[in-house]
Amino acid sequence: MTALAAELQTYFSVFARTQRDLSEHTITAYRDTWRLLLTFLADTTEQRAEHIDFDQLDAAHVAAFLDYLEHQRGNSTATRNARLSAIRAVLTHALPGHLDHAGTISQVLAIPPKRHPTPMLEFLTAAESDALIAAPDRSTWTGRRDHAILVLALQTGLRISELRSLTYTSVHLGTAASVTCTGKGRRTRATPLTPTTTAVLATYLAERHTRSGTALFSGPRGQQLSPDAFEHRLKVHATTAATACPSLADKHLTMHTLRHTAAMNLLAAGVDISVIALWLGHQHTHSTDAYLHADMTIKQKAIDRTRTPETTPGIYHPEPDILAWLTTL
């Protein structure tokens, strides 16, 4: 076994789980990155993957791998940077124990993330949201489940990972109805539910309790829905909704778009940006600032409060002759 293989086993079986206590989502993302990297290095160096060691893991090969992700696999810059973070996480842990490869490892750790323009957030209008919610066929159990998913996601802005983790005990109906979830960074939060969402979930739960499994939103056999299943169901209903609301056909709609929509609805209602950050489970308010940039209403209000170019500078003094002033209008 090579030193790199031993390090990978130690990192993923011991360090990531017991010392860092990383989430399963993070561990899976890191694992997939290293599988891709080792496969790429094996093809590039014409060696078997189990023979790849720190000597082949130099800055040139890692940079070539990052270029491969962007140009051949079609990954975005954000995905490229996430893959680089996964590589750096393992090598940062490996460095103190492999000082004989310190030069090679340090050069890889010095590779900077790639800068990229921040895209404008995409969100749904009220009409688009209504059309999407109405799309599932509620004469079937799957349709009623999907209807509950869409209503809850659009109102609460829960991440797809948070929706997947919900169980029966996560939903609290009655007075001060809310849903409790554990999000990024293992931060637990409770999100209030509107009367409409409460009614939908109450009806859904009454039927859901008759089926197997504990996941709130489950598959036919009671199993937890996968992220791809959520996205697939959303795509199906978006296609249906586009017949009634054609503007949906022009939007790249994902489950995260529903989260953006919930945030924009709160912002349009006058909710303070710091409260929206708490609502979404953001650790810092700067993560929520993007919604301010996306809200054209706020920008229009700012324009309306500015002086037009032809306005004469100076302090306003009312006309002494009211009849003369009225004539100028």
Spatial contact of 75 and 69, defined as CB atoms under 8 Å apart: yes
- The verdict on 227 and 285 lying in the same domain is yes
Of 9-18, 152-161, 217-226, 292-301, which range is least confident?
292-301
Question: What pLDDT is recorded for position 294?
Answer: 65
The answer to whether residue 259 is catalytic is: yes
The answer to whether residue 115 is catalytic is: no
Provide the residue range defining the domain that includes 253: 126-302
Q: Which residues contact 27 (CB under 8 A, 6 or more apart)?
A: 12, 16, 17
- The verdict on 50 and 199 lying in the same domain is no
Tokens 């209030």 sit on residue: 192
Q: What is the pLDDT of residues 160-186, one digit of tens each?
A: 989 999 998 899 998 889 999 987 777
Helices and strands per DSSP (H, E), number in the chain: 15, 3
Q: What predicted TM-score, i.e. pTM, was given to this entire model?
A: 0.72
The answer to whether residue 284 is catalytic is: no
Q: What percent of the chain has pLDDT over 70?
A: 91
* Tally of domains within the chain: 2
Which member of 159, 233, 237, 260 is catalytic? 159
Mean pLDDT score across all residues of the chain: 88
Q: Token pair of 71, please?
A: 């140009």
Nearest Cα to 203, choosing from 137, 135, 145?
145
Task: Please tell me the distance from the alpha carbon of residue 172 to that of residue 154, in angstroms, as a whole number.
Answer: 18
**Domain assignment of residue 222, yes or no:** yes
Of 19-28, 198-207, 240-249, which range is least confident?
19-28
Which member of 260, 282, 307, 317 is catalytic? 282
Q: Token pair of 172, please?
A: 């609290």
**Domain assignment of residue 190, yes or no:** yes
The answer to whether residue 316 is catalytic is: no
Give me the CATH number covering residue 150: 1.10.443.10
Q: Which residues contact 247 (CB under 8 A, 6 or more apart)?
A: 125, 127, 128
**Domain assignment of residue 118, yes or no:** no
Buried b (16+ CB within 10 A) or exposed e, 202-213: eebeeebeeeee
- The verdict on 31 and 140 lying in the same domain is no
